[in-house]
């Protein structure tokens, strides 16, 4: 009786399969790690999840500039803008104000926006004396953390855009209450020339 030999390619494949099987373990899916909410007998509190080490800062969350990111310094509202106020910032503030603020505060800042006309609680006008005297940091803090019926916008508006909105709000306030002294000296003459002449008695 003659024995049949396996073809060389088949024999090689069979050996390779045997080697792979020998290298696999049934417990590979259960790696030595803690699953979420799994108990631990290593830590005294029995929990495997640990709090971050005190002072840990998440990537992108290093908040060194308190004035820029909180509107406060030493626990007090800042009275000066922590970034340069220029035309580009005001334009950005006007755009963001139109998106996030005008629906309640109205385009003029009077507080009679479209949702207010439909029954939502009316916010105070930006032009009352209390808010005209408020420092920029106050407005930034209100946008960030909310106040009264106004929700917080920290998760929707970046800090630089919040400052842009604050700059635009103060521009609105100035536009309603500006005097000739607020106009640059080199532009006053052209402004005065454009004023209509008073009627003779």
| pLDDT tens for each residue of 56-100 | 888 877 777 889 999 999 999 999 999 999 999 999 999 999 999
Looking at residue 32, its pLDDT comes to: 79
Average pLDDT over residues 7-19: 70
168 versus 179: the higher-pLDDT residue is 168
Looking at residue 64, its pLDDT comes to: 79
Distance CA 124, CA 116 (A): 11
- How far are the Cα atoms of 9, 17, 18 from residue 14, in angstroms, in the given order? 9, 5, 6
Distance CA 163, CA 159 (A): 6
DSSP label of 4: P
Digit-coded pLDDT (tens) for 173-191: 999 887 777 777 877 777 7
Q: What is the CATH number of domain 84-178?
A: 1.10.760.10
Q: Where are the domains of the chain?
A: 84-178
How many residues appear in the chain?
201
On whether the CB atoms of residues 163 and 68 are closer than 8 A, the answer is yes
Looking at residue 177, its pLDDT comes to: 82
């Amino acid at each position: 009786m003659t024995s049949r030999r396996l073809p060389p390619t088949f024999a090689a494949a069979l050996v390779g399969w045997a080697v792979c099987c020998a290298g696999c373990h049934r417990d590979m899916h259960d790696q030595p790690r803690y699953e979420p909410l799994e108990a631990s007998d290593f830590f005294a509190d029995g929990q495997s999840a640990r709090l971050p080490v005190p002072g840990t800062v998440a990537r992108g969350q290093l908040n060194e500039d308190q004035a820029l990111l909180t509107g406060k310094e030493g626990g007090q509202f800042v009275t000066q803008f922590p970034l340069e106020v220029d035309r580009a910032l005001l334009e950005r503030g006007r755009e963001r104000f139109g998106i996030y603020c005008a629906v309640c505060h109205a385009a003029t800042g009077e507080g009679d926006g479209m949702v207010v006309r439909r029954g939502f609680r009316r916010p105070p006008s930006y032009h009352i004396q209390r808010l005209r005297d408020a420092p920029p940091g106050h407005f930034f803090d209100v946008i960030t953390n909310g106040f009264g019926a106004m929700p917080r916008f920290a998760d929707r508006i970046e800090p630089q855009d919040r400052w842009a909105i604050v700059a635009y709000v103060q521009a609105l306030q100035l536009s309603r209450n500006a005097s000739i002294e607020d106009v640059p000296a080199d532009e006053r003459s052209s402004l005065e020339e454009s004023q209509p002449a008073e009627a003779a008695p």
